[in-house]
Every structure is written in structure tokens, then in C-alpha cells.
Structure 1
Amino acid sequence: MALQTSAEAPVPVGRISRLIGEWIDRLGGVWVEGQITQLSRRPGAGVVFFTLRDPSQEISITVTCYRAVFDQVADVVTEGARVVVHGKPEWYAPRGQLSLRVAEIRPVGVGDLLVRLERLKRSLAAEGLFAAEHKRRLPFLPHRIGLVTGRASAAERDVLENARLRWPAVSFAVRNVAVQGVHAVSQVIEAVRLLDADPAVDVIIVARGGGSVEDLLPFSDERLVRTVAGCVTPVVSAIGHEPDSPLLDLVADVRASTPTDAAKRTVPDVNEELTRVAQLRERARRATEAFVDREERGLVGALSRPAMADPQRMLDDHEARLAEYRQRARQSLGHRLDRAADDLRHTVARVRALSPAATLERGYAVLRRPDGSVVRDAAGVSEGEELRARVAEGELAVVAKGAVAPPA
């Protein structure tokens, strides 16, 4: 029902604002297309603000959304991007301001494609397919290079010509495939698998010139990424130009900015290597000469020492010292022997003085019975008993005639 008003019975502005808000609340959720301007993402804020503008008309609407909603497309949506949003119109009655509370944002055209690629990129990265520890080093000098590229393309020419200019002996196994269109993914995968299975191929280059995001889309295909991740042979990605970055660049062992750069990274320059060899030879020569000069100076210094200038002098010193030691040893031994001889003579004299033989030499005799016992008491000898008398020089057989009285 229309609102009944007149000049005599006007409606306050506040009521009109509330009525507009009630009518807008009945609209529910709507899909709106426009261009993002005045994007505001304050650090730490939970809400993102931007203006959605109609490029064909000078009209726009304020949009608010939670940060979690915007973060899902933040990598590909910036100011100026065209998007489709789903939200609910809201009317702020105190200010009479219309806004749109958004719950979903979808990029339009290339933006939508980039969002899908970004989601695939995050999923594959979470599996570890892009991890640096899985990257293999390229051989220093590959004998045979596998090249996957378009037939008679500029990328093929750039790789072959630059590689052969750098190292003329290098050989290639070229596999020409479709590099865009519906058959590109399957043909590139088949070529990579065949080259990876060839033991003569040392490295594989996948090359293509520049193009739009849609043209380079086959090189972000999940099947191709997983195929390259499973290769045993190192893979070099040379897709497009420097700004282009398909997912193949992330999974390949080496990412080249252009096909020409791929040739430079894969094949060494023969002139640079010859120059490096010459430099190393020169460094080795200088190091050898410095070593010889140092050793010669050391030898001259050693020869200038007194021991080397007159080695006989050192021997003479040792000989004199040895003679002195010998003389001292002879004197010490002589003294010890003299003292030992004196001690021995004294001991012999004492032994002789205490020996029974000395007593016998003074005219005494020792009487013994036949059993060897010594006669100590004359009363113990019976008359007629046979005895043996030991004198200083020999023994005598005697017969006892009886005991006699000792002399007065």
C-alpha cells in the first residue's frame, strides 16, 4: 500500500529511511557483478571494505565482507578486478546508506581461472611436490638432452641453437608435441615419460614460448605436474617468459625464465670452461712455483745452519764428549775395583786368621776318631784306640797309649 502523505501531513525523513530499510530487507540474497575499487584491508581487522562499481555507469555500492571470505581470492583479486559477488543488501537507516554484505566472491574470466590454479597449487604444495629437497641437480655436461616442445617453434630453435653454440658436441632427442589445445597435456606427458625411460637421456627440457594464461594452462595440469614429479631424470621447465609461472615451474628441478635461459642452464659454455681451465692451470702453476720457492728458501736456510755447514764439527763434539764419558767410566770402574780388591784382601786376612788351618800351621793337631768325631777330652780316649791326627800338612794314624798329665 502506498504511503499517504500531503503537504499538511508530511512523513519524517527517519520514517522514510526505516521504510526503505524494511523494503530492502525483503530482497534477500542477490548476485551482483562489478569492478572492485577503494579496497581497504586493514591489518588485524576482521572485516574488508571495498566499493563495487559498474564500469558502464557512474554508480557504485559499498561492500563489506569478513576477511576469511576475501582471503579465499586475495591472491588473484586486486583493485580493478571484475568479480561476481553474492550478498545481501543492507540499509543503514541512521545515515540513509545502502551497502552490500557479501558472503562469496568469484573472479570473472581469467580471475576465476587463477583462483582454481591457486587452489591446485596449494593442494600440491601440501603434498610436498614442490619441496626443495626433492629437486635434483643437473649434470655438469649432459651427453644427450631430451627436448619436449612445439614443432618448428621459436622455443625449439632457441634451445637448439644456444645449446650448440655453447657446446657443439651436445646431442638432442627432440619430441615435438602440441603445446596448447585439448591434446597438449596428453602429448607432453607421453613425451616426458618416453624420455625419462631412455637411459641415454641425461636431462629433459620442456619448452614453450610466451602466451596468455589460457595458452599456458596445459603446463599447470595436475596430471603433467605429477608426471614430472615422478621422473627419475632431472627436468627443466622453460615455459613462456619471466612473468609467466605455470605449476610446471614449481615441480621441475630447475626453472628457466625463457627457452634460451634453459639452454644456458643445461649446457656449459665451452669457451668459458676453456677459460676456467686456463685460469686453474695458471693458479696451479703459481701455487707450484710458490711451493718450490718456499721449499728452496727453507733448504737454503737449513744449509746455512752450523750443523749443516760443518757436519763433521757436530760429530767431533760428540766424539769428544763420548771419549770423556769413557774416561770417566773407566776411572769410576777402576776406583770401584780397587776398593773391592782392598775389601777382598781384608776379608781373606780375617778368614785366614779365624781358619783352623792357621792354628794347625802353628804346630797344633786335630784328633778325630774313625767316625770323624773330634776328640775333645783325653779321658774319653781308651788305651789302644786308633785315632787320626790332622796337622798342617797331611794326616797321621796314631794309637792312644793312655792319658798323661799336662805339663806343670
Structure 2
Amino acid sequence: MDGQIAQISRRPGASTVFLTLRDPSADLSLTVTTNRDVLDSGAPNLADGARVVVHAKPDFFPARGTLSLRADEIRQVGIGELLARIEHLKKLLRAEGLFDRARKRPLPFLPRRIGLITGRASAAERDVRDNARRRWPAIDFRIVNVAVQGPGAVPQILDALAVLDADDSVDVIVLARGGGSVEDLLPFSDEALCRAVFACRTPVVSAIGHETDVPLVDYVADLRASTPTDAAKRIVPDLAEEVRLIGGARQQLRRRVTQLLDREQQRLDAIRSRPVLARPEAMVDQRETEVRALRERGTRCLSHRLDRAGGELEHTLARLRALSPAATLQRGYAIVQRPDGAVVRSPDEVGAGDRLRVRLAGGELTATVEG
């Protein structure tokens, strides 16, 4: 089994060495006893916080109800082996999709409150807090101080992460730590921590070490900042820059509105300069002149037609009069009719004693046939 040394107890002159072996991902420790010669041969320079591989047998003490390990081989894990394990874990997490960009959550433009997980009174805490407030003075923080290296780092970070993720007022969580050796940054390549960051519903920003330091949590986090200072710049907008952008946008909007008003005013002036709007009565006067001309033309046409019709009527009347029986009567002729109105055209049509009506130009006469 492997783990991290939390404590080494070497009593002067004693052949037995007591070790406390801790699981970096869980709050679990076991006591390991071994012979001094085993320790000196396998890990002579072993110190607190070192990663080791132990071959041991369990010892259970029923009276005390405790379990311990009796090690017959202890080997300190070197940097090369640590890096190989981290690389293997990296491939595993990538295959499971924990590094997938499509699953990363967007950061809010201006978070109401920033949750900060960092070491107590650390430079990383000052860098994030001071730079964020320099950019946006009213920004609020909820800071949880934890151990950022050593055997207890991972459990404390996991607890802090759970607390901040459950806080609805926290809009983004920052994991911040200054630079350090590969061993110092091991907690941030822990599998349990990477999975916890992936499971958070709140966006997580990783700001671990220097720009060249890339622990596995950087790949899982929703945003990787090269340094704690960079994290503050990436999370919080610059108030002065935003004010400048708003001022520029307002000026641009004012220019566009002014241009629009000027363009519309020119259109109105052009429309108003048209004759129909400049002198609207001119159109009425023009229509009045046209109506007057049409009326005069209509009057002339009607008078001409009436005159022509009158001439034709007089001509027809003259012809009618010339052809009328009355005109013949005017020349001294008379029309003789029997009482029944029949015209007498021959003397044979009447007999002696018949009464006749004689129509003259000036009236009628009644006559009696004598012979």
C-alpha cells in the first residue's frame, strides 16, 4: 500500500520506529511499526510529508480494538514515480471526460461573492483579495483557510470546497496557492480533489503555483489562472475599464442618435421645401383655374350645341310649316269634312241636304249641300 507520512517517531536507542501513514485523499491514518534497519535501508532520509510504498502485515489488538501494520519493507516514492502516477491519473481522468471543455461552466461577469480556498495569511490570499478589490472595490469574499500541503491538505480542501459549493451566495470558487516543489503541489493532483471539483455546481478557478506549474486540478477546473494575481484579473472586471467602456458606448450612442436626428431633420426640411407644402394654396389655386377653364369650356360647348340645335329646330319647323296642311289653308284652300270627320274629296261623296264642316285657315264653317 502507499500513503503519506504524517509523523515519524524514533526513540533514541530503540530498534522499533513508529510511523503514522495517512491516506492523502481521506481523513484516515494507520500506525505502522518497523525495524530501524528496514527504514534505514529502504528510506534513510524519510521525513514528514513524504510519499512511501509499504509492504506490511496487519496487526489487530482485540483488547484495544486497534489495527496497525507491521512493515517489512518501506520504500520512498521518488519524483519520477510520482510524476508517472500523476501522468497515469491524468490519462484516466481525461478518458472519463473530466477535462472536456464542453462541460466547463462559464464564469459570471461580476460575481456577488467569491469563495477563496487558500492557506492562512498566505501571499496567494493577499494577491487574490487585494487585486480583486483594486479592480472592483465593492467585491465580497468568503475565505476558507486550509492546509495547502502536507497530509491534511486534501481533506481540508475537500471540506472547504463542499462548504462553499453549498453556499448560494458564492458565485465562483478560487483554489489559490503560491509556488512550490512537486511534492508541495501534490494535493492539487489528488484524484479525490479532481473529482470533487468536477462535481461542483459552482464554477471553480484554479490558481495554483506559478505559470509553469500545472497540477491536475488545473485541467478539471472551469478556468485555469497562471497565478493568484491572474485569477483576480480573470474573475473580477476592472471598474475603471468598465466605466471607460460605458462612457465610450454612451458617446457612440449619442453620435448615432444625433446622426439619425440630423438625417431625419434633413428629410423633413426636404419634404417641407416641396411646393405642395411650401405653398399648399398653390395647388388649390391651380385646381380652381382648371375648374374655371373647364366650366367656361363646358359653357361654350353647351351654348354652341344649343345654338346649333336651335338652328336645326327652326329649319325643321320651317320645313314642317311648309309641308303642313295649315300652310295650304293659309293660301286660301279649305278642307271639307262630313260630320263624322271624313274628308270629302269628290262631290259624289255627298248628297243634297248633307251638313258639312269646312275648315279654313282662320277657323271653321258649317254648310249644307243644296245641289
TM-score range (shorter-chain normalised) is 0.5 to 0.7
1:156 alignment counterpart? 125
CA displacement 1:29-69 (0-9 Å, x = unmatched): xxxxxxxxxxxxxxxxxxxxxxxxxxxxxxxxxxxxxxxxx
CA displacement 1:364-390 (0-9 Å, x = unmatched): 9xxxxxxxxxxxxxxxxxxxxxxxxxx
Note the C-alpha offset of 1:308. 2.1
Note the C-alpha offset of 1:303. 1.6
Note the C-alpha offset of 1:328. 11
2:173 is matched by which residue type in structure 1?
Answer: I
1:229 alignment counterpart? 198
CA displacement 1:206-255 (0-9 Å, x = unmatched): 00001111211111111111111111111110001111111111111111
Q: For residues 237 and 329 of structure 1, do their structure 2 counterparts lie closer, same or farther at Cα, with a shift above 3 Å needed?
A: farther
1:212 is matched by which residue type in structure 2?
Answer: S
2:206 is matched by which residue type in structure 1?
Answer: S
Say which SS state the counterpart of residue 174 (structure 2) adopts: strand
**CA distance in structure 2 between the partners assigned to 1:363 and 1:116 by the alignment:** 151
Residue 194 (structure 1) aligned with residue 163 (structure 2): yes
2:244 alignment counterpart? 275
Say which SS state the counterpart of residue 282 (structure 2) adopts: helix
**CA distance in structure 1 between the partners assigned to 2:209 and 2:272 by the alignment:** 71
Residue 132 (structure 1) aligned with residue 101 (structure 2): yes
2:207 alignment counterpart? 238
Could you tell me the TM-score, scaled by structure 2's length? 0.57
Note the C-alpha offset of 1:324. 8.6
Note the C-alpha offset of 1:115. 2.0
Q: For residues 156 and 328 of structure 1, do their structure 2 counterparts lie closer, same or farther at Cα, with a shift above 3 Å needed?
A: farther
**CA distance in structure 1 between the partners assigned to 2:291 and 2:207 by the alignment:** 85
- Structure 1 residue aligned with 2:231, among 262, 268, 272? 262
**CA distance in structure 1 between the partners assigned to 2:140 and 2:244 by the alignment:** 23
Q: Which runs of no fewer than 5 residues in structure 1 stay unpaired?
A: 1-107, 336-361, 365-408
1:145 alignment counterpart? 114
1:163 is matched by which residue type in structure 2?
Answer: A
Q: Greater CA deviation, 270-279 or 144-153?
A: 270-279
Q: For residues 309 and 158 of structure 1, do their structure 2 counterparts lie closer, same or farther at Cα, with a shift above 3 Å needed?
A: same
Residue 182 (structure 1) aligned with residue 154 (structure 2): no
Aligned positions, number: 229
2:260 is matched by which residue type in structure 1?
Answer: F
CA displacement 1:248-295 (0-9 Å, x = unmatched): 111111110000011111111111111122112211221221111111
- Structure 1 residue ranges (4+ consecutive) displaced by more than 4 angstroms after TM superposition: 315-332
Q: Greater CA deviation, 274-283 or 201-210?
A: 274-283
Q: For residues 164 and 317 of structure 1, do their structure 2 counterparts lie closer, same or farther at Cα, with a shift above 3 Å needed?
A: same
2:283 alignment counterpart? 314
**CA distance in structure 2 between the partners assigned to 1:119 and 1:328 by the alignment:** 109
Bigger RCO of structures 1 and 2 (CA < 8 A, at least 6 apart): 2
- What are the equivalent positions in structure 2 for 1:12-161 lying under 5 Å apart? 109-161=78-130
Q: Could you tell me the percent identity over the aligned residues?
A: 59
Say which SS state the counterpart of residue 214 (structure 1) adopts: coil
1:141 is matched by which residue type in structure 2?
Answer: L
